[in-house]
Amino acid sequence: MIGKLKGVIDSYGEDFVIVDVGGVGYVVHCSTRTLQALPAAGEPVVLAIDTHVREDLIRLFGFLSDREREWFRLLQTVQGVGTKVALAILGVLKPADLASAIALRDKAAITRAPGVGQKVAERVVTELKDKAPAYAEFDPAAARLSGAIEDRRAPQPVADAVSALINLGYGHPQAAAAIAAAARAAGHGAETARLIRLGLKELGK
């Protein structure tokens, strides 16, 4: 099994790169984000590799880091997610952003990936919700608040404040994180207007 390739970029294809390692060209399939981050032809490159072996085919998938490769494997544990969908998701979300989106149940971020609909996004955030925190850098209070809002358990002023920030154009994770911080600062029983003001102040930092 190949776990890493260190060589020189030979050429690019639509969804792959050919890496020359000692005169042997390896076809490595990558996400669009990874391909865009790789150097030009003739430049050195190091890729973490996930090798898929079938009876009639061996395919190599390349990643910028070991963490990204682990997310590629983790995504495929979700029903309906194969290599193509996993690469599509990693093509629009960095590992840390994907982890935060799962923890905050931000299905809209995941559906930005080509070919990923609401049902698949729902399965990703549901089936991986207990695995995301190990990979993420986010405020746990924001994750709890996001889950409470999703389940309609959040206090009404808090839910209204998050909704107001979303209506102003902020994404759900950002709004939830800002209001989580605002709720901590304001204390129990804060009114919606105060939470919104504090949330906007938090977003402006």
Pairing of strands 44-54, 57-63: antiparallel
Cα–Cα dist 203/205, whole Å? 6
Query: Each residue of 10-22: pLDDT tens digit?
Result: 999 999 999 999 9
Can you list the domains of the chain with their CATH numbers?
Answer: 4-63 (2.40.50.140), 66-134 (1.10.150.20), 140-203 (no CATH)
pTM given for the model: 0.67
Q: Is the pLDDT reported for residue 136 higher than 60?
A: no
Query: Each residue of 167-194: pLDDT tens digit?
Result: 888 777 778 778 888 888 888 778 889 8
What b/e sequence results for 113-142 when a residue is b if at least 16 CB atoms lie within 10 Å of its CB, and e otherwise?
beebeeebbebbbebbeeebeebbebbeeb
In this structure, what token pair is assigned to residue 130?
Answer: 């207990």
**Which segment of 9-18, 57-66, 101-110 scores lowest on mean pLDDT?**
101-110
More confident residue, 171 or 59: 59
Task: Report the pLDDT averaged over residues 40-54.
Answer: 95
